[in-house]
Structures are given as C-alpha cells and as structure tokens.
C-alpha cells in the first residue's frame, strides 16, 4: 500500500444508543441518535475496504448463513438482528425459488491478484503525482475494489473470480485542492479519471469502459470526509463530499442536528455520490431529496472549479447550474464540497404499519395521503409477496405469549376481518417530529388508512420493514450461495399508473423468465416507496433460481431489460434515484428527446472536451 | 427448386390441426333437462373482481372517460350535465346485457332439441376448448367467431356452456332488439346491443367503448364480437371492421391490462340455414326485418337436414405479442388516459393488420366439406355451356383431383377417408338436393323448370325472362356461396394464374405487376392482408411450383404441361369476379349519369347487368350479386377512379371515365398493367 494515513480524523467508536428490539416485541424508543437501525461502529477511521467484502455487499463479518440445523442466522456484531434465529427463511427460500440447501454455489473466497490485468500507467502522470504527495496505489486489490458497483453482473463476476477492465491506479485526495491538482495533471497528461465515492452504484456507472485505452485513475474521495463547518444561524453545514452517509448523520447528531437524508445505501454511499446521481432519501417527505437539501456545490472540472458566489436560498439566475452537476454521474468533474441544509434532530420517532386487504386499496390509501399532503417521514407499501418475504424474516419469538399474540393477530386479520393472506399487503410508516405532533399525525394517517380498509398492525412490523431495507443486499449474497440471483430496480410514475405498472412489470418479469427457460417461477415483487403530489416511486425486486441455465447473468440482463422496456411503456421514468450510468443509457435519448440530449452533450463538450472524466455514463 | 427450403416454413401441408368431437352425440344419449340444469361452475379470470351487471353499469357511469366526455358534450352543446347524464344512462340501459344463468339454461334445453333436429352433428375441437380455458384464467379473452348465420352466437354460448366455460357477452346489432321478446331473451343470454351506425355521436361511442372495456378489464366475461361486422351473405369472409377490435386492444396499449387474448373461432356449416334467403337478398329482394313472427315462419327450416357444423377454436393470439415492436405504447404517456384520442397512425395500421390476420386465421380453420368442391366444379361446368350437365363419374374424377389439389394447398378438408369417392359425391349431392339435379347419370345445377326451393308452390304461369333469370340466379348464388367457402384456399394461386393469363409475357416481373394489380383491385372483395403483396406472390408461386403446375426461374414464370388443368381451374375460379368488375366499369362508363348517387348505384347496375345477361353478352349470372357490385364500387372509390362528391345529396358519384376505362381494359388483359398503374397515378 502506498497511501499515507490521513492526517486527521474524527474518530468515534462508541455509538451511544440505538434502537433495539425490546423484550416484549419492539416498541418505539425515544432516541437521541439516528438512525437507529445502523451498525454500532463507525467505519470511517479505517479504510472501508479493509472491513468490507470484496465480492459481496457490506461488512466482511456480516452475512446471512444457514446453520447446521438449516436455520438462517446473521453473523457479525453490527446489526440488531445479530444472533437471532430466523426460522421461516429456509422454507420461504426453498418454496419461493425451488432452491435447495443441498445445491450450493459458493463464491471464490480469495481475490487472485494474478487474474487482474497489470496496470497501464501513464508514467509522466505518475511522476508528477508523486511530487504532489497525494497518496495513490497500483495494488490489484485496491483497483479491483473500485472497479465495480453492485449490479448483479458485477458481483456475479467477482464471485467467480473474473475481472474485466479495472482502474490502473487509485488516488486518495485529502481535500479540494488535492482534487484540483489531480484533475490538472490528468488533463495535462490525458489520463481518464473515474470518481469513486461509496461504490454502491447499481447502474454500471463505475465500470471502466472496456474501449478506454488511456490509463484509468480511480479518484477515491473517501479521505475527504470532514464536516468543515456548521452554521447554526442558517442551519447549514459545509461538508467534504467524500463523507459517508452514516458518518455525516452521526457527526451532526452529536451537535443535535441531522440532514435527514437517508438513502437505503447510507451506510456506505457518499455525499458526492448522492449529488452526482440525484439521490433520494427515505425521509424525503420531511427533509426533501438531495436537490432540495443542497445549498451550494463545489465541483472540480477540467475547465476549472464551478460554484455559485453566494448561498442565497433560491436564485433566479438562469438555469440552475446545480442541475448540471446533480445527476452528472461523474462525467463532468468531481464534487468536492457541499453546503447542505441541516435540521435539529427530531424529538421523537415512531414506527407503524397498516395491513390492507389488497394492494389496490393500499395504493388508494397512499394516493389519498399524498393528496392531503400528510405523508409521514416515510410511508412504504409492500405487495403481498414482499409481505410474505418480510414475514419469513421474522426472528424467532422469545416467548409463548408473543407467539400466542401473533397467532391471535393473524386470526383477527384473516378470519375475523376476512383478509385473504394471499392478497393482503402492508404499509410501513415512520413518523418523526415532536411527540404531540407525531401522535396527532399518526392518528390522521391511520384514519385515512381505515377508509381504505387498513388495519393498524403495530410498530414491530413497521420497524422490521425498514430493517429489511438494510439487510436485503446481504440476502442477495445468501441467495447467490444457492443458485439464486436477483436485483432491485426502481422507477417513478404518475399516480393513475401505479397499479398498472406494478401489475404489468411483475407479469412481464414472470413471462420473460418463463420464455428464457428459467425453471422455477421467479420472485417478482414490488413496493411503493415514496409518494409525491403527482406520483410515486416504485421499487421492483426480482430474483430467480438459475439452476439449469448456462448463462444466468445474460438471462438476468435480458429480463431486466424487458422489465425496463415495460416500465417505459407504462409511463414510468427511466430512473427515480439510481441514475442512468451505462446500464440504462440506451434509453436516454427517448427519455429526454434529441434536443435534450444535445443540450447535455454540449455541456459535456464545453466542460470536459477531452473526456478526462471518461466513465461514459449517461450520454 | 432451391427456393424450397425458404418456403418450407409456410408449407400449408404442415399445418397441424386438432381433432373434432361431436357434442350432439352425448345430447342424443342423455337427458337434455338434466344437462340444462347441471352444475355450472366455469373457471374465471385470475384478476376478476366479482361484480354484478348492476355494478358494471355504475362502474361505467362513474368512469373518468365518461365524465370527461359528458362535460365535453355539455360545453359544446350548452346542455345541462344532468340531462346528458340521463342520456348516458338510457344509452347504457339500451345497450347493456343482463346475463342470467336461468335464460342460458332455457336456451341450453331448447337449443339441444333444435340442434338435434337440424343437424347431424356439431363437432368441436376439444384441444381448442382446453386452450381457451387456459387463456380465460390468464388474461381477458376476446372471442372472434366467423359470422355466417344467426345461429352463430347462440351456438357459441351453447358450446361454452356445454364445456363449462365462462359465458361471453356478445356485441349484437340493434336490429335484433326489434324482435321484442327474442331481443330480451338474447339480452339475458349475454347479448348487448349496439346501434349499427353512430359515426359522429361521441357520447354513444364513449358509453359503448367504456362499457366494453370495463367488462374486459375486470375480466367480467369474455367479450365476443364478429370481426366481419355482419353475417357474410356470400360465405366469403368480409373485410374486417376495426371499431370493436380497437376498443378491446386499447386497454393493452394503455397498460390497463397485461395482455388480451384474441381467440379466432371458425364456424363452418355444411348447409347454411339462410342459404336461399341470402341469395335473394343479394339479388335485391330486401332483407326481411328481423321479427319474432318471421322467426316462427322460419320453422319450416326445422324439417330439413342441415348436415353438420364444425366449430374450431383457434390458437389464442396475444395482443402483446402481436404489438411487440409495432406499437410504441409510450405515446400514451403524456395525456391522461381517459381523454379519448383518435388512434395514431401506427395504432390504426397495427389494428388493421391484426384484423386481417385474425380473419385469415378464421379462414384457415374453416372446415370444408366435399360439397364445396362439387359446387366449384358444377359452377364452372355450368358456365362452360354444358347444357346437359356433367356425368356423375366424371364429376367424381374431377372432385378427387380437386380434393388432392386443395389438400396440397392446405385446405382443411373433411373428406371421409374410408368411403369410396363416388359415395362421398352422391351423399353430398343428396344433402343439397335443392341445388342440383341428377338425371340419367348426369349432374347439373337445378336451374330452370323446377325453380328451386326458393319459390315453391308459387304460380309459375307468366314467367318473364327476367324472373326466370332471377330464379336461376338464386340457385347459382346459393351454389356460389359454397364455392366461396373454398376461395381462400385457392385465392393466391388463382390470382397468380389470372396474372399469368393477363400478363403480356412470361417475364416474372410482368407477371408480378399483373398479380399486384389484380390483388390491389380485389382487396375489397377478398381477405388480402395489406402490404403483403410480395409474400402472397411468393406463396402462390410456391404452391404452384410445389404441385408441378409452374416453373419459376429468375426471370420467367412458365406453365408446365401438367399444370394446364390446374391453371384453367384457377382462372375459372376468379373469372366471375374479373368479369363482374369489368361489367361494373362498363356500366360506369356507359350509363352512369351526372346525377348517379350511391344509393341508386346498385339498382342501376343490376338493371344493366340483367340486360347484358339476357342478351347473352355476359356469362356469369353470379355477377348479379350486390356484394360484388358494392365491392367493386368500393375498390374504384379507393383507387380514385370514382369519387363521392361531398355535400351533394346522398353522395353523388363522379366517374373518372378515362381511368375506369383503363382499369376495365387492364382487367380484361387488353392493357398491360404498367399503363394502368400510371393511369392511377
């Protein structure tokens, strides 16, 4: 390793408090620190790389496995579900996918450096870079780690020990000025730069273009992770763009603030990445999406630094230059510093859940909540398949009393209320704010839900729903150990189309799988994860058992492609927050029109005429 | 023969068809009452929201689309919303079906009795039924039967009841509603009624389309309608109407359903109940208004033998698969879907193409009886001037020849395998004894003295030549309607044969030009998929080459020695139509006055044709068919040789004499095709 340890770090190991499951089945807990469902330990004082998997999701010590009795459990000490037995998962897994614990497909355990292409170096660039003192590395492991995001095909190849084109070296700038120097040198020596934040991309955005002949340098922003100042008068914080979501929240929490921006990937994704992809957070209903949260952005481009001259809350100064930066996906430059809005931490937080007799009623309820503009911090509606999935992840109950209660609840919902267990669906809720208002708000939402046949189903279910978000990526790794591959993708769609798009895309997935020789019906499920005035964000999960297929990844990609076509044909957008990357760029032109494409191209041509930021995303 | 491999995909001989089961057999052996009262529990669409006829109406009334149109109409006309809403309710009232199981059971009972008297058997392909059952569960289903008889839709519902399948709701013409009691009975057996024409009435259209879509989307019941729009009086498939097909495809285009299954159903009658009725209608005896008493009078039909019926449920066609790569569904992204919009160009042409494909699918699975071949042969023989008819054994020989030829062309022919051909021929002839006469071992059409079944018992004293001609024409047109059943089998080769005949040389290009001209000319007459000229030409070449009738080289098309017989047969098949179109052209050139209206056209052209027939200047009596006359006018209008003057009363026709003349000459082979094309430009 060539890098020098960073000069200063905010180190905080003890995560003082987090939400846990209480003895009697999980209750709201008044908390000081958010978010509660995240790991206890801050990873920022070490290079994430050292504690993370090189060929799967998340921390090396955290993984699902089936123990000797065939029961699922989760290892490590970072998440609250640690050590709990999940008795239902095996049956669900075997029934849903037709998979068997007998048929394993283990990953290549160790990274074989010799399988990695030797770096193509631009000697002059390397020489000048050395003289700046900015740390860099040509180590194979470092390069492989930054050569991918978390698309299925990327992880699948890694598990098989296959590497395509990887960056030729990695640099770790420590501050804005370091980035300026690197970009200058790259321009001078015609080196291709690919900015790297948290590496959680699911759009093939981090893949090195195979046709790139220049030396590719991965610019890792992880060392630029400081909060430079907090302005309590204006409620803003000026933060370096490499900071990872959970660190940002934790550090702000210490002074009683938060940004409230919580994308599902917040454990690992970085502020710069959010800006570059137009990220969206779970609690956007209160705090807004990234475009609502940023006040000022500083970005280094081959033409120099772009930023605004002041921090006015809104400006009428032509098209907002922030909107050229947000969503530029690393094609124009590196975001180095961002001023963000901050809020005092909420006094009180409460989970909740509602069971609906069917998905249609659930969507109607969400629509009404959006119409009345009374959406809680988060409101998500899972379809029946996902409800069952969530159910399968229920940890073993601790007492006869709880299991009795569960039985009683089930009886009440299915027999007394007449809900069909194969049709009902569940919405999970998260309320935030001061206590009084939360309770009032909660009542309002439950009243609306009741009009659509919704029954309050407890906080426990709600909380488990949100936890699912953080562990689902780990579950994919478990599936991949047993011939099951899958992924999620998202879209946004007008309200009147929500039901149609959900039905059609799910059906299309099933049909495509069948036509392509997938032996067992796939898991094809969705949930509505965000509500807006004019529409909603819909998330699809799709997984199947690939036994008997010679090229499962290709089949997977064809099905995903078909599903995206279906989304577009049903009035859905190309992406709500994952971005376009290289995975979806074939649809960009029809998405933004020829002229729109020309506009974006001309910006790229001006800002980066030599394609220094050559990841070839988006356009 | 190198091209064989390329064509083999299309080889009609390879078409695999299901076997039939006779459903009357069981009816003859067990109680009809028990059958009518048995437990009926059909499988339903998996996405079905159970609803009653009443809820259906309120769903329609509350739909966004109707709301929009109601307010639009109010804005445009200044009428009060309540007023318009009331009109909507009454339209819906008039239209809506009231499907009742008890009525269906009543029909199940009575139809069992009726069918057993009328028909020897009703044969159904049970594999098709199984496919349909599967389809009903997966997606909304649209049933598209061919339409040759009033019987069709009762028969369809009867069959579905028999096989415990969901009963369809059927789009029926309003004229049925005139039959007081029967109309209501039909309504209760699932018919809903639509006005025959409501072109400009957007309110009516909105109610109608929303009603159909609501039933379809909710999987309430399979929707059934006739692509051909009306009963074909000629047994030729009619060019499809697009309105309803558009409506049932719309929910798919707009993403409201994942897919829609279209199921073409081919119903073939060995003997059509309305046989002579149709012939008279085509000859200008106006169609009797549907009335209950008329139906009772029709009771005498009950005493006759109508042979068998074959019903073939075709392969369900997925609208999604059809539309793949053809329709960009994103076009609905930018306007709320409930706002009615004229179908875009690509959707219109897609629906049109699909409609033709579906009608062709119906045609392909029509069962042909030996009589169909005999009728073709007898008609050709009659025209060739053989006054004494044809010897029975010669007819048998020809029939066997034609049987083999039609099979090679892929006909779905039901020719009893283990019966000597002579027996097959004589039993076919005896079933149609009203149309043929056998004397001294010779067979001919029952023209002349006996008068045929059309007018039995009428005093036959002072018969004018014209009346005589018309009564012969009834027999000939009835016969032609059977020949027409086989037309789709021979159509493409016949067009090629005629093209070879009219083309000035054997050059392939010239033959193709001529083929293309004829095909274009006849595209209102026959089912010819738009834009498929080259495909049709290749198919025709392939079939004729395969049967050894033709040699096709790079440049030339040559008729072989043994192909002569085939080509003569094929050209004779098309000849009545060629002659008919020419006569119509001549009429327009010679007799059409400035003031000729569309309405006057048929009577005038009929008079002209009768004159020519009586004078012996025209050989084909069947040219008297108003169907042919209408189609030829439609073709001339389409080609621009005749124009309708708008604004003038009742649509005055303006004839471009030069162009009509040159079309006539080209049809007659007097002008090479190229010139006609130029003339058309």
Query: How far out from the chain centre does Cα B385 lie?
Result: 31
List of residues 6+ apart from A323 with CB closer than 8 A = A291
Strand, helix or coil at A305? strand
A590:B330 CB<8 A:
yes
Nearest partner of B416 among B367, B449, B468, judged by Cα: B367
- A279 annotated ligand-binding residue: yes
A508:B258 CB<8 A:
yes
- A482 annotated ligand-binding residue: no
Per-range mean pLDDT, top range of A43-57, A69-83, B468-482 = B468-482
Query: What's the pLDDT score for residue B439?
Result: 86
- A312 annotated ligand-binding residue: no
pLDDT in tens, B497-507: 999 998 888 89
* Percent of chain B with pLDDT strictly greater than 70: 89
Q: What does B151-176 look like in DSSP terms, one character per residue?
A: HHHHHHHHHHHHTT-PPPEEEEEGGG
Chain B hits for A495, CB-CB cut-off 8 Å, are none
A–B: how many Cβ contacts below 8 A? 26
Mean pLDDT (chain B) is 87
Q: What does B518-561 look like in DSSP terms, one character per residue?
A: HHHHTTTTS---TT-HHHHHHHHHHHHHHTTSEEE-SSBEEE-T
Distance of residue B75 Cα from the nearest chain A Cα, in angstroms: 25
Where residue B188 falls (left for φ over 0; alpha for ψ -120 to 50; beta otherwise) is alpha
B330:A569 CB<8 A:
yes
Across A75-210, the runs of DSSP E, i.e. the strands, are 85-86, 136-137, 169-171, 192-196
Chain A hits for B336, CB-CB cut-off 8 Å, are 496
pLDDT band at B494 (very low <50, low <70, confident <90, very high): very high
Residue B214 DSSP class: H
Q: At what angle do helices B563-590 and B657-667 cross, to 10 degrees?
A: 160
d(CA A138, CA A488): 33
Task: Provide the b/e sequence for B54-89 (b: ≥16 CB within 10 Å).
Answer: eebbebbbebebbbebbebbbeeeeeeeeebbebbe
User: Is the Cβ of A500 closer than 8 Å to some Cβ of chain B?
Assistant: yes
- Judge contact between A325 and A299, C-beta under 8 A: yes
User: Is the Cβ of B134 closer than 8 Å to some Cβ of chain A?
Assistant: no
User: Is the Cβ of B346 closer than 8 Å to some Cβ of chain A?
Assistant: no
B255:A570 CB<8 A:
yes
Task: Please give the helix or strand (H or E) that residue B565 lies within, else none.
Answer: helix B563-590
Q: Nearest residue on chain A to B139, judged by CA atoms? A: A507
pLDDT in tens, A8-38: 232 223 333 333 333 333 322 223 333 434 4
User: Is the Cβ of A534 closer than 8 Å to some Cβ of chain B?
Assistant: no
User: Is the Cβ of A586 closer than 8 Å to some Cβ of chain B?
Assistant: no
Q: Where is average pLDDT lowest: A79-83, A173-177, B247-251?
A: A79-83
pLDDT in tens, B60-84: 999 999 999 999 999 999 999 999 9
Average pLDDT over residues A41-52: 62
Distance of residue B255 Cα from the nearest chain A Cα, in angstroms: 6
d(CA B377, CA B438): 15
pLDDT in tens, B292-321: 555 555 556 667 889 999 999 999 999 999
Q: Give the start-to-end residue ranges of the domains of chain B.
A: 20-35+54-270+306-365, 484-667
CA-to-CA dists, residue B114 to B25, B103, B301, angstroms = 14, 16, 11
Q: Nearest residue on chain A to B328, judged by CA atoms? A: A569
CB atoms within 10 A of CB B502: 23
Query: What's the pLDDT score for residue B454?
Result: 41
Average pLDDT over residues A387-398: 82
Nearest partner of B209 among B375, B298, B340, judged by Cα: B340
d(CA A203, CA B540): 52
Chain B hits for A507, CB-CB cut-off 8 Å, are 258-259
Cis peptide preceding A35, ω within 30 of 0 = yes
Pick B258's closest partner by Cβ from A496, A507, A590: A507
Distance of residue B328 Cα from the nearest chain A Cα, in angstroms: 7
Query: What's the pLDDT score for residue A31?
Result: 30
ipTM at complex level: 0.88
Task: Provide the b/e sequence for B309-320 (b: ≥16 CB within 10 Å).
Answer: bbbbbbbbbbbb
Strand, helix or coil at A386? helix
Residue A114 DSSP class: G
Distance of residue B211 Cα from the nearest chain A Cα, in angstroms: 19
By the 10 Å C-beta count (0-12 exposed, 13-18 middle, 19+ buried), A166 is classed as buried
- A334 annotated ligand-binding residue: yes
Residue B482 has pLDDT above 50, yes or no: yes
Residue among B46, B63, B255, B332 with most chain A CBs within 10 A, to mutate:
B255
- Judge contact between A65 and A93, C-beta under 8 A: no
A496:B337 CB<8 A:
yes
d(CA A86, CA A67): 10
A504:B332 CB<8 A:
no
CA-to-CA dists, residue A577 to A109, A203, A222, A276, A315, angstroms = 32, 10, 22, 10, 24
Distance of residue B423 Cα from the nearest chain A Cα, in angstroms: 50
| Beta bridge partner(s), residue B452 | none
Residue B339 DSSP class: S
d(CA B315, CA A457): 47
Domains belonging to chain A, first-starting first, are 48-217 (3.30.43.10), 227-344 (3.30.465.10), 348-470 (3.30.70.3450)
- A165 annotated ligand-binding residue: no
Query: What's the pLDDT score for residue A460?
Result: 85
Nearest partner of B370 among B408, B399, B407, B411, judged by Cα: B399
**pTM: predicted TM-score of the whole model, two decimal places:** 0.89
d(CA B62, CA B51): 15
Chain A hits for B47, CB-CB cut-off 8 Å, are 503
Q: Nearest residue on chain B to A562, judged by CA atoms? A: B324
User: Is the Cβ of A138 closer than 8 Å to some Cβ of chain B?
Assistant: no
Q: Residue A166 is encoded by which pair of tokens? A: 């990887």
pLDDT in tens, B105-161: 999 999 999 999 999 999 999 999 999 999 999 999 999 999 999 889 889 999 999
User: Is the Cβ of A515 closer than 8 Å to some Cβ of chain B?
Assistant: no
Please identify which residue in the block is written with the tokens 């012996």. Answer: B616
Q: Residue A155 is encoded by which pair of tokens? A: 């992880």
Nearest partner of B10 among B543, B557, B547, B567, judged by Cα: B543
Chain B hits for A568, CB-CB cut-off 8 Å, are 330
User: Is the Cβ of A305 closer than 8 Å to some Cβ of chain B?
Assistant: no
pLDDT in tens, A215-244: 999 999 999 999 999 999 999 999 999 999
d(CA B220, CA B47): 9
Distance of residue B317 Cα from the nearest chain A Cα, in angstroms: 15
End-to-end CA distance of chain B: 37
pLDDT band at A87 (very low <50, low <70, confident <90, very high): confident
Chain B hits for A496, CB-CB cut-off 8 Å, are 336-337
Query: What's the pLDDT score for residue B206?
Result: 93
Query: What's the pLDDT score for residue B17?
Result: 86
Report how many helices (DSSP H) and strands (DSSP E) chain A contains, helices first.
19, 21
Average pLDDT over residues A181-199: 97
User: Is the Cβ of A507 closer than 8 Å to some Cβ of chain B?
Assistant: yes
pLDDT band at B287 (very low <50, low <70, confident <90, very high): low
List of residues 6+ apart from B427 with CB closer than 8 A = none
Q: What angle (nearest 5°) sits at the alpha carbon of residue B218, between those of residues B138 and A526?
A: 65
Residue length, chain A? 619
Residue B590 has pLDDT above 60, yes or no: yes
Distance of residue A566 Cα from the nearest chain B Cα, in angstroms: 9
A568:B330 CB<8 A:
yes
Q: Where is average pLDDT lowest: A373-382, A532-541, B446-455?
A: B446-455
Mean pLDDT (chain A) is 89
pLDDT band at B551 (very low <50, low <70, confident <90, very high): very high
A496:B336 CB<8 A:
yes
d(CA A350, CA A121): 54
- Judge contact between B93 and B234, C-beta under 8 A: no
Query: What's the pLDDT score for residue B464?
Result: 85
Q: Nearest residue on chain A to B138, judged by CA atoms? A: A507
Query: What's the pLDDT score for residue B99?
Result: 86
Pick B256's closest partner by Cβ from A500, A569, A590: A500
- A199 annotated ligand-binding residue: yes
Pick B333's closest partner by Cβ from A503, A508, A571: A571
Query: What's the pLDDT score for residue B631?
Result: 96
Distance of residue B258 Cα from the nearest chain A Cα, in angstroms: 5
Chain B hits for A570, CB-CB cut-off 8 Å, are 255, 329
Query: What's the pLDDT score for residue A25?
Result: 32
Residue among A504, A509, A568 with most chain B CBs within 10 A, to mutate:
A504
> Which residues of A are catalytically annotated?
539
Q: Where is average pLDDT lowest: B448-452, B539-543, B581-585?
A: B448-452
d(CA B322, CA B121): 35
pLDDT band at A400 (very low <50, low <70, confident <90, very high): low
User: Is the Cβ of A564 closer than 8 Å to some Cβ of chain B?
Assistant: no
By the 10 Å C-beta count (0-12 exposed, 13-18 middle, 19+ buried), B209 is classed as buried
Quick one: CA dihedral A22, A26, A32, A35, positive or negative?
positive
Task: Please give the helix or strand (H or E) that residue A277 lies within, else none.
Answer: helix A271-277
B332:A571 CB<8 A:
yes
d(CA A613, CA A478): 35
Across A357-444, the runs of DSSP E, i.e. the strands, are 378-382, 425-433
d(CA B53, CA B192): 12
- Name the phi and psi angles at B492, rounded to 5: -65, -50
* Percent of chain A with pLDDT strictly greater than 90: 76
Q: What does A403-427 look like in DSSP terms, one character per residue?
A: HHHHHHHHHIIIIIS---TTT-EEE
Query: How far out from the chain centre does Cα B369 lie?
Result: 17
Bridge-based pairing of strands A257-258 and A236-240 is: unpaired
What is the third-level CATH fold of B20-35+54-270+306-365? Glycerol-3-phosphate (1)-acyltransferase (3.40.1130)
Pick A501's closest partner by Cβ from B255, B328, B332: B255
Pick A503's closest partner by Cβ from B258, B332, B337: B258
Residue length, chain B? 681
- A476 annotated ligand-binding residue: yes
Across B245-319, the runs of DSSP E, i.e. the strands, are 261-269, 308-313, 317-318
Chain B hits for A497, CB-CB cut-off 8 Å, are 255
- Judge contact between A58 and A43, C-beta under 8 A: no
Half-sphere exposure for A269 (CA within 13 Å, toward CB): 24
Query: How far out from the chain centre does Cα B605 lie?
Result: 24
Q: Residue A331 is encoded by which pair of tokens? A: 């094609």
Query: What's the pLDDT score for residue B384?
Result: 75
B330:A571 CB<8 A:
yes
CA-to-CA dists, residue A294 to A126, A138, A251, A378, B598, angstroms = 35, 35, 18, 20, 72
* Percent of chain B with pLDDT strictly greater than 90: 63
By the 10 Å C-beta count (0-12 exposed, 13-18 middle, 19+ buried), B470 is classed as buried
């Amino acid at each position: 390793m060539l890098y020098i340890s960073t000069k200063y770090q905010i180190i905080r190991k003890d995560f003082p408090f987090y939400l846990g499951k209480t003895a009697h089945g999980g209750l709201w807990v008044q908390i000081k620190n958010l978010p509660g469902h995240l790991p206890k330990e801050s990873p920022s004082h070490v290079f994430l790389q050292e504690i993370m998997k090189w060929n799967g999701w998340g921390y090396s010590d955290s993984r699902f496995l089936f123990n000797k009795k065939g029961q699922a459990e989760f290892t490590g000490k970072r998440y609250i579900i640690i050590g709990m037995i999940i008795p239902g998962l095996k049956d669900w897994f075997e029934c849903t996918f037709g998979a068997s614990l007998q048929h394993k497909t283990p990953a290549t355990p160790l990274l074989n450096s010799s399988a990695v292409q030797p770096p193509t170096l631009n000697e002059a660039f390397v020489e000048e870079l050395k003289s700046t003192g900015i740390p860099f590395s040509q180590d194979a492991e470092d390069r492989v780690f930054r050569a991918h995001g978390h698309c299925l095909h990327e992880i699948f190849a890694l598990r098989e020990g296959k590497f395509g084109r990887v960056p030729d070296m990695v640099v770790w700038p420590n501050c804005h000025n370091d980035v300026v120097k690197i970009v200058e040198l790259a321009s001078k020596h015609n080196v291709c730069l690919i900015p790297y934040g948290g590496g959680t991309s699911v759009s093939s955005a981090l893949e090195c273009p195979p046709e790139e002949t220049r030396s590719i340098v991965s610019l890792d922003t992880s060392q630029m992770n400081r909060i430079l100042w907090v302005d309590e008068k204006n409620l803003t914080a000026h933060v370096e763009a490499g900071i990872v979501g959970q660190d940002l929240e934790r550090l702000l929490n210490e002074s009683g603030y938060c940004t409230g921006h919580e994308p599902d990937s917040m454990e690992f994704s970085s502020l710069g990445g959010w800006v570059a992809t137009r990220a969206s957070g779970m609690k956007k209903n209160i705090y807004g999406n990234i475009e609502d949260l940023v006040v000022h952005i500083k970005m280094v481009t081959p033409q120099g630094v772009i930023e605004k001259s002041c921090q006015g809350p809104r400006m009428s100064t032509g098209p907002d230059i922030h909107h050229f930066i947000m969503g530029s996906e690393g094609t124009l430059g590196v975001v180095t510093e961002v001023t963000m809005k901050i809020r005092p931490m909420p006094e009180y937080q409460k989970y909740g859940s509602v069971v609906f007799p069917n998905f249609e009623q659930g969507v109607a309820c969400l629509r009404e909540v959006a119409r009345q503009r009374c959406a809680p911090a988060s409101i998500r509606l899972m379809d029946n398949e996902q409800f069952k999935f969530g159910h399968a992840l229920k940890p073993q109950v601790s007492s006869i009393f709880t299991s009795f209660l569960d039985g009683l609840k089930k009886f009440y919902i299915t027999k007394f209320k007449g809900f069909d267990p194969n049709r009902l669906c569940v919405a999970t809720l998260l309320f935030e704010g001061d206590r009084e208002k939360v309770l009032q708000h909660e009542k309002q939402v439950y009243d609306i839900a009741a009009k659509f046949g919704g029954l309050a189903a407890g906080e426990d279910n709600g909380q488990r729903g949100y936890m699912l978000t953080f562990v689902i990526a780990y579950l994919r790794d478990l599936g991949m150990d047993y011939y099951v591959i899958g992924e999620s993708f998202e879209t946004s769609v007008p309200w009147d189309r929500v039901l149609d798009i959900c039905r059609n895309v799910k059906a299309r997935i099933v049909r495509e799988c069948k036509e392509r020789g997938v032996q067992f019906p796939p898991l094809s499920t969705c949930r509505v994860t965000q509500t807006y005035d004019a529409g909603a964000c819909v998330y699809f999960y799709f997984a199947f058992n690939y036994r008997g297929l010679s090229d499962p990844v290709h089949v997977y990609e064809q099905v995903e492609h078909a599903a995206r076509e279906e989304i577009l044909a049903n009035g859905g957008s190309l992406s709500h927050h994952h971005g376009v990357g290289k995975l979806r760029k074939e649809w960009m032109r029809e998405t933004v029109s020829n002229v729109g494409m020309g506009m974006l191209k001309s910006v790229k041509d001006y800002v980066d005429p030599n394609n220094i930021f050559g990841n070839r995303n988006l356009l | 023969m190198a091209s064989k491999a390329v064509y083999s995909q299309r080889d009609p001989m390879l078409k695999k068809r299901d076997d039939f089961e006779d459903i009357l057999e069981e009816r003859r052996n067990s109680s009809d009452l028990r059958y009518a009262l048995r437990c009926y529990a059909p499988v339903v669409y998996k996405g079905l929201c159970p609803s009653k006829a009443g809820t259906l109406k309120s769903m329609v009334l509350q739909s966004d689309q109707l709301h929009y149109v109601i307010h639009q109409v109010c804005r445009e006309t200044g009428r009060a919303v309540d007023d318009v809403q009331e009109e909507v309710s009454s339209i819906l009232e008039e239209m809506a079906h009231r499907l009742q199981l008890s009525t269906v059971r009543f029909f199940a009972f009575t139809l069992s009795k009726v069918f057993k008297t009328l028909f020897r058997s009703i044969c159904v392909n049970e594999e098709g039924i199984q496919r349909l059952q599967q389809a009903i569960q997966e997606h909304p289903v649209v049933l598209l039967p061919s339409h040759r008889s009033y019987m069709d839709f009762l028969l369809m519902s009867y069959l579905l009841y028999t096989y415990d399948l969901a009963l369809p709701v059927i789009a029926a013409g309003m004229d049925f509603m005139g039959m007081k009691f029967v109309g209501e009975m039909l309504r209760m057996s699932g018919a809903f009624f639509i006005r025959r024409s409501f072109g400009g009435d957007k309110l009516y259209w909105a109610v109608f389309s929303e009603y159909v879509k609501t039933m379809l989307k909710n999987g309430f019941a399979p929707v059934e309608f006739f692509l051909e729009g009306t009963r074909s009086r000629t047994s030729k498939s009619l060019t499809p109407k697009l309105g309803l097909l558009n409506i049932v495809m719309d929910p798919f285009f707009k993403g409201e359903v994942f897919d829609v299954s279209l199921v073409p159903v081919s119903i073939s009658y060995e003997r059509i109940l309305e046989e002579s009725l149709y012939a008279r209608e085509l000859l200008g005896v106006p169609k009797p208004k549907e009335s209950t008493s008329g139906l009772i009078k029709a009771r005498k039909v009950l005493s006759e033998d109508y042979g068998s019926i074959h019903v073939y449920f075709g392969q369900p066609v997925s609208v999604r698969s059809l539309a793949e790569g053809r329709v960009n569904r994103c076009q609905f992204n930018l306007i709320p879907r409930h706002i009615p919009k004229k179908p875009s160009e690509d959707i219109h042409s897609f629906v049109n193409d699909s409609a033709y494909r579906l009608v062709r699918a119906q045609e392909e699975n029509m069962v042909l009886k030996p009589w169909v071949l005999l009728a073709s042969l007898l008609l050709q023989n009659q025209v060739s001037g053989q006054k004494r008819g044809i010897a029975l054994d010669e007819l048998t020989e020809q029939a066997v020849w034609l049987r083999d030829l039609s099979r090679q062309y892929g006909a779905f022919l039901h020719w009893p395998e283990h019966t000597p051909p002579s027996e097959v021929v004589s039993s076919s002839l005896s079933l149609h004894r009203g149309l043929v006469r056998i004397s001294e071992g010779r067979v001919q059409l029952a023209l002349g003295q006996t008068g045929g079944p059309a007018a039995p018992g009428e005093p036959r004293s002072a018969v004018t030549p014209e009346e005589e001609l018309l009564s012969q024409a009834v027999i000939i047109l009835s016969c032609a309607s059977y020949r027409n059943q086989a037309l789709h089998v021979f159509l493409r080769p016949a067009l090629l044969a005629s093209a070879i005949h009219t083309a000035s040389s054997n050059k392939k290009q010239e033959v193709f030009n001529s083929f293309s001209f004829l095909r274009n000319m006849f595209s209102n007459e026959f089912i010819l998929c738009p834009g498929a000229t080259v495909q049709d030409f290749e198919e025709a070449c392939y079939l004729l080459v395969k049967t050894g009738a033709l040699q096709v080289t790079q440049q030339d098309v040559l008729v072989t020695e043994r192909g002569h017989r085939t080509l003569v047969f094929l050209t004779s098949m098309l000849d009545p139509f060629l002659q008919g179109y020419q006569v119509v052209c001549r009429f327009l050139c010679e007799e059409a006055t400035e003031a000729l209206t569309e309405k006057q056209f048929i009577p005038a052209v009929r008079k002209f044709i009768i004159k020519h027939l009586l004078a012996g200047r025209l050989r084909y009596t069947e040219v008297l068919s108003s169907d042919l006359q209408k189609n030829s006018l439609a073709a001339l209008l389409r080609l621009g040789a005749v124009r309708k003057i708008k604004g003038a009363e009742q649509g005055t026709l303006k004839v471009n004499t030069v162009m009509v003349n040159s079309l006539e000459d080209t049809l007659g082979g007097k002008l090479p095709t190229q010139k006609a094309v130029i003339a058309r430009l």
